[in-house]
Structure 1
């Protein structure tokens, strides 16, 4: 039996109706993914497509900005990690003298914690009075701060000798 022109026309109408329903469902799905201001007014299909296009472009811009920020932060993290590794590899000491007062700052990594005990022991050997000792930890770095008082007899000579011994102690341990 041959297809009649009316049956063929009905088939095309049915196919077109199904296509329109499918497109309407896809537009509706796209529209549901785009945030809308709390407005109850109905927007036309071209306006919905325009809003979706603007939203996607804004998402692309935000993604690019976030990617740049991530790369920047990762760059700083790598830089800090290399600085931390350097700190763990070699402890550092700073000694500040003001008259008979001595301020010792010992900077170590977590793997050189024993250095603090050695520095305190050395100060006790030199008969230095320790007034205050504290520490702070930042990431993998420990900052020790020791405030002391050098003896009354020839404080400048004692301070110079003590400073030299402290530096040598830290250098010797850093080379191990």
Structure 2
């Protein structure tokens, strides 16, 4: 009798564990699909089966990984060519911070190049970007010689409205000049 109860309890326990695993997997799949922009799906998300949604998400992730690698290669190439044009790698750099703000489709790239001794509050720069209706996606900080390169990628929150890059640039310039 006890053996039968133990067996049924084990079955029930395994069943419950499997049910919880399926619920957790369903939630994770939903979360994965929800963070992929709608424009990257061949059909509306609702019409695709779960495996098709995961395939689309996987393809999007691969595409983004390739794009990031290409942008990093391009960045390295641009830095190398600039260093080659200016000489020893630091002597040709201006003594003031360099700021560029570019609109990239529905995103924004902010690149700030400064010297090691030119400090500013990165959190203030991030605040400006977020106040201007953009959500920061990634920040890359690298050192080249005696310079620090901050590259911030942000996504526009409301793509219909867009973002005013000149306003972002002006506000960040104010922050830089107040800290120098």
Same fold (TM > 0.5): no
The structure having more radius of gyration, on CA atoms, is: 1
**Which bin holds the TM-score, normalised by the shorter protein?**
0.3 to 0.5
- Structure with greater proportional helix content: 1
Q: TM-score, normalised by structure 2?
A: 0.43
Q: TM-score, normalised by structure 1?
A: 0.44
